[in-house]
Amino acid sequence: MNTTAIRIQHRDVPHAQCDLDEAPKSFFLVIDGTNRAYQFEDSDVTLISGDDVHFDSIRILMAASCVFRDLFLVGSKDDKTHEVRLIDPEIEHREVISLFLVICYGGPVPHYHDRHLAFKRSTRFLDKWDCKQAKESLRTALYAWTTPDLGRLQPSFVFAMATFNDEPASAKRAISSTGKWYFPSIKEAAPDHCEAKGKFTATYHLPDRCAIDLSACTFEQFKEIADGYKFALLRATGQHEIGKPPTEISWTEIADTFAITLEAIRGR
């Protein structure tokens, strides 16, 4: 990532009196690909991400989030600018804030290949700040990526995103589009030591297994999926024996069984 550290004058320390070795953290402003487009001189709002990157904006955020709106309204009327410091380094990471602002300003939603980290964390951010319109934009993009002509998208990623947004229909489409998607082979050999081998097994997927197979994914991927979705998918794949050759697997039938099972769970 191309990153530039720009020296700026701290509000409380005159430029001539400030020693760089003792300068406060905000004496340096990081500019990189995530926030370079959001350095407006006439901004009236500054968002500071959980990893301490500054985004200058305007009060369009008031329309994007009722929580942001209330924060600005309760501030002093004499303040020309508002500073909102976000504290969660994961869901309020610079990549997430950048994606959020792209949507707020009406830009095209970037492909998940370009903002993979942001997409994984964005739903929790949008829920926390009650950003309904931005969340709907992400849902629309996700749905479009699962259409047949745009379906070259890793189905396990779509499935995980569908669970984040609680979108059974998108999850079903992800399963239907699994086709011949498989986890790739692992070039690194598994260690012989028992403890190291256990960590290796939990960290890596099982190679050459179906990409929607929960028994072959990593522990981190497994944790991301809600329990109801996990159970419905495990039951559907177990019932239809996904270990068979790809030509003998009907992903449409598996998707139908998944949807029926998930609906039954929720109807209890």
Cα–Cα distance measured from residue 114 to residue 142, given in angstroms and rounded to the nearest whole number: 14
Q: In this predicted model, what pLDDT tens digit does every residue of 90-139 receive, in sequence order?
A: 999 999 999 999 998 888 888 776 777 788 889 889 999 999 988 888 88
Structure tokens at 265: 């769970």
Please indicate whether residue 178 or residue 129 has the higher confidence score (pLDDT).
129
> What per-residue confidence (pLDDT) applies to 268?
62
Asked if residue 32 lies in contact with residue 57, where contact means CB atoms within 8 angstroms, the answer is no
Q: pLDDT value at position 22?
A: 43
Name the phi and psi angles at 258, rounded to 5.
-60, -50
How far apart are alpha carbons 225 and 263 in whole angstroms? Answer: 16
User: For residues 192 and 71, what is the distance between their CA atoms, to the nearest angstrom?
Assistant: 55
Phi-psi category of 208—alpha, beta or left, where left has phi over 0 and alpha has psi -120 to 50? left
Which of the residue ranges 23-27, 36-40, 184-188 would you say has the lowest mean pLDDT?
Answer: 23-27
> Which residue range forms the structural domain that includes residue 196?
149-268
Q: Provide the pLDDT for residue 73.
A: 77
Domain for residue 244, yes or no? Answer: yes
In a domain, 253, yes or no: yes
Q: Answer with the residue of higher pLDDT: 41 or 14.
A: 41
Q: What is the pLDDT of residues 217-241, one digit of tens each?
A: 888 888 888 899 999 999 998 888 7
| 231 within domain boundaries | yes
User: Minimal CA–CA distance to 213: which of 225, 203, 197?
Assistant: 225
Let me know if residue 133 belongs to a domain: no
The count of structural domains within the chain is 1
Contact 123, 138 (CB under 8 A): yes
Residue 198 is assigned to a structural domain of this protein = yes
SS3 per-residue string spanning the chain: CCCEEEECCCCCCCHHHCCHHHCCHHHEEEECCCCCCCCCCCCCEEEECCCCCEEEECCCHHHHCHHHHHHHHCCCCCCCCEEEECCCCCCCCHHHHHHHHHHHCCCCCCCCCCCHHHHHHHHHHHHHCCCHHHHHHHHHHHHHHCCHHHCCCCHHHHHHHHHHCCCHHHHHHHHHCCCCCECCCCCCCCCCCHHHHHHHHHHCCCCCCECCCCCCCCHHHHHHCCHHHHHHHHHHHHHCCCCCCHHHCCHHHHHHHHHHHHHHHHCC
The verdict on residue 157 lying in a domain is: yes
Matching residue, tokens 């559907």: 236
Q: Provide the pLDDT for residue 187.
A: 60
Asked if 29 and 4 count as a contact pair (C-beta separation under 8 A), the reply is no
Asked whether residue 162 is domain-assigned, the answer is yes
For Cα atoms 7, 9, 15, give the angle at the middle one, nearest 5 degrees. Answer: 110
Give me the phi and psi of 212, to 5 degrees please: -105, 5
Cβ atoms 136, 148 nearer than 8 A: no
Q: Identify whether 177 is part of a domain.
A: yes
